[in-house]
Structure 1
Amino acid sequence: MKVGFIGLGNVGGKLAGSLVRNGHDVTVLDLNEDLMQSFVERGATAGETPEQLMRDCEAVVTCLPSPAACAAVVEGENGLINGVSEGKIWMEMSTTDAEEIKRLGAMVNAAGGSAVECPVSGGCHRADTGNISIFAGCDRPTFERILPLLTTLGRRVLHTGELGTASTLKVLTNYLATANLLTCCEALVTAKAAGMDMNTAYEAMKISSGTSFVHETESQVILNGSRDISFTMDLVLKDIGLFQEIADRHNVPLEISPLMIDIFKDGIARFGERELSPNIIKRLEEATGLDIRAPGFPAEMTDDEPEEPGYEVIPTGLSR
């Protein structure tokens, strides 16, 4: 399958890298020409416009920073919608709004193509090795058609249902990850204030009922001091804001979510929207005057799992 890939940022570049590394015929497109050139040097082809990619490729993947950016690529000048014809597939891998993906997907379907939302979860370090998890929302025949591509891009692939379901679940899981991050920050600073050894505190949290994926990854770069997970506060605020919008739409009176939004708005006001998201802990560090760094933790996360072929995950209680 000839694949177009639009968006070579922190996540998209790593996902596109998995396709190139595994021998797929990939045409890339990004506003940053240096990023495109780096892929050309690895065997990819440089694209010209989203429309051209869709005309020339069987499937086009987009991985972009916002719903607005996605809309511009799909329906803007030289947008990919102009290149859609019978059998073409658009795969949206960004974290976006379910209603927006359904709107744009309906345009692609009406033009004879198929739209798939397939956001990823698991961190940039797993995107880099093809071991990330993927949610896929689309009709079942389209899912089965693109499953070989998805199992190259990721390790665990879950078909979530029709278009819109994957975006909803992705936003939900990002909300949970953000809640985990904030509670880990509070626990680490409180442990330091109570005189605990931070290496020991990390291990206590890791081997206990209080552990989480976020603790075992982000707490490490927090304790290192780099705070580098290639994800920024503005993106966190976008994601938890999308989750709040879903709750509002369905009249769910959330209590923790609005507080989390206020915390990240305050973090952005203090440190800037492009500040690394784990540096939300700086609010507590500044309030207490504490330094919670500890020796022996990595500056960035790497995936120590070997790259292996992916597979479809079947939901608990359901059969294939």
Structure 2
Amino acid sequence: MAKIGFVGLGIMGSHMAANLVRAGHEVTGYDVVPASVEKLLQAGGKPAPDIAGAVAGAEVVITMLPDSPQVAEVVLGPGGVLESAASGLLLIDMSSIAPETSREVAAAGAARGVRVLDAPVSGGEQGAIKASLSIMVGGEDDVFEAARPILEDLGRTIVHVGGHGAGQTVKAANQLLVAGTIALVSEAIVLLEASGVDGERGLEVLAGGLAGNRILDLKAATMLARQFDPGFRIDLHHKDMGIATTAARSAGVALPVTGQVAQLVAAAKAKGHGSLDHSALLKVIEDLSGR
């Protein structure tokens, strides 16, 4: 069992840290929201007053933060992870950020003798709760093998996809697929209901055929009920679609459908739906159809 510092105890991070506690690790956590730290304390973890407190004595530090600027500040900034880290520390950044930021963090870590992985996740809040996340890992082979036992306490599908930043590229591909699928499920619901077909029965049939997908499995019922309590917020998916389109430019490839779906996500944010679940893309499709 490891001594783990965990920075970022939000919707995903709080459940992930709790799972590590249940697995027997000694987890010390920090978040800018005191209530999130209290939640870890109730799960059996230890509170830290700041980032340095979470890092002190840790063998492994995990960060789970909203975006690249927060990762850069928490890891590279004054009072950050690297400033407090001992040589040999294993830093696993599980945030979804730009690949270039992951490479910057890895280079800065190497200069201080800190081993770094980028390991973004997919599976949403339920995946975090059930420790069934899909984890896509970028970094060196030996560091991945050292981290594997800890990652196995958080997810079921754990794949080393390449060098530093590769995990973030795969996460960008994941996010464009998820957003595109949500948009198409939304269109299917609008078409079914506008045509007088019972949406629940229609989606039940679709889920059993070639059109079946995880969005239908996990979100069809709440979308039909227009319940958009956040498991993964529109605001975060908007950020991720920006990462995907930027990655496409860097790779010199055209992703025309991704571009269109990114605009739908942007419209959802612009309409004030940023705090809702990403399945609230249905509201945008309904608006476009005058429904």
Q: Normalising TM by the smaller chain, what interval?
A: over 0.9
How many angstroms does 1:144 deviate by?
A: 1.2
Taking the TM superposition and a 5 Å limit, the aligned residue runs for 1:104-123 are 104-123=105-124
Amino acid at match of 2:169: T
Q: Secondary structure in 2 aligned to 1:155?
A: strand
Partner of 1:162: 163
Partner of 1:128: 129
Cα distance in 2, alignment partners of residues 50 and 154 from structure 1: 25
Contact 1:228/1:278, CA 8 A, preserved across alignment: no
Partner of 1:294: none
Amino acid at match of 2:17: A
Cα distance in 2, alignment partners of residues 229 and 200 from structure 1: 25
Partner of 2:54: 53
Say if 2:40 is the partner of 1:39: yes
Cα distance in 1, alignment partners of residues 102 and 288 from structure 2: 41
Partner of 1:284: 285
Distance 1:227 1:274, change over 3 A: closer
Q: Secondary structure in 2 aligned to 1:231?
A: coil
Taking the TM superposition and a 5 Å limit, the aligned residue runs for 1:1-320 are 1-288=2-289, 290=291
Contact 1:268/1:275, CA 8 A, preserved across alignment: no
How many angstroms does 1:30 deviate by?
A: 0.4
Q: Which moved more, 1:179-188 or 1:267-276?
A: 267-276
Partner of 1:316: none
Contact 2:238/2:269, CA 8 A, preserved across alignment: no
Contact 1:228/1:276, CA 8 A, preserved across alignment: yes
How many residues are paired up?
290
Amino acid at match of 1:246: A
How many angstroms does 1:164 deviate by?
A: 0.9
Contact 1:138/1:161, CA 8 A, preserved across alignment: yes
The superposition leaves residues 43-87 of structure 1 with CA deviations (integer Å, 9 ceiling, x where unpaired) of 211112223332320011000111111111012221111122321
Gapped regions of structure 2 (runs ≥ 5): none
How many angstroms does 1:286 deviate by?
A: 3.5
Amino acid at match of 2:14: G
The superposition leaves residues 169-217 of structure 1 with CA deviations (integer Å, 9 ceiling, x where unpaired) of 0111111010000000001110111111112111111001111111211
The superposition leaves residues 246-284 of structure 1 with CA deviations (integer Å, 9 ceiling, x where unpaired) of 111122122112211221222212124223321121123
How many angstroms does 1:242 deviate by?
A: 0.4
Distance 1:167 1:246, change over 3 A: same
Cα distance in 2, alignment partners of residues 53 and 287 from structure 1: 47
Partner of 1:306: none
Q: Secondary structure in 2 aligned to 1:168?
A: helix
Let me know the Cα RMSD of the aligned residues: 1.4
Q: Secondary structure in 1 aligned to 2:231?
A: coil
Q: Secondary structure in 2 aligned to 1:184?
A: helix
The percent of aligned pairs where both chains have the same amino acid is 27
Contact 2:29/2:45, CA 8 A, preserved across alignment: yes
Contact 2:200/2:221, CA 8 A, preserved across alignment: no
Cα distance in 2, alignment partners of residues 127 and 11 from structure 1: 6
Cα distance in 1, alignment partners of residues 78 and 163 from structure 2: 28
How many angstroms does 1:42 deviate by?
A: 2.4
Cα distance in 1, alignment partners of residues 61 and 144 from structure 2: 15
Distance 1:228 1:275, change over 3 A: closer
TM-score normalised by the chain length of structure 2: 0.95
Contact 1:60/1:89, CA 8 A, preserved across alignment: yes
The superposition leaves residues 87-120 of structure 1 with CA deviations (integer Å, 9 ceiling, x where unpaired) of 1011100111111100011101110010011111
How many angstroms does 1:288 deviate by?
A: 4.2
Amino acid at match of 2:166: T
Amino acid at match of 2:149: P
Cα distance in 2, alignment partners of residues 30 and 200 from structure 1: 43
Q: Secondary structure in 2 aligned to 1:152?
A: coil
Gapped regions of structure 1 (runs ≥ 5): 291-320
- Give the structure, 1 or 2, with the largest relative contact order (CA under 8 Å, sep 6 or more): 1
How many angstroms does 1:228 deviate by?
A: 2.7
Distance 1:275 1:229, change over 3 A: closer
Contact 2:230/2:276, CA 8 A, preserved across alignment: no
Cα distance in 1, alignment partners of residues 85 and 111 from structure 2: 9
Amino acid at match of 2:146: R
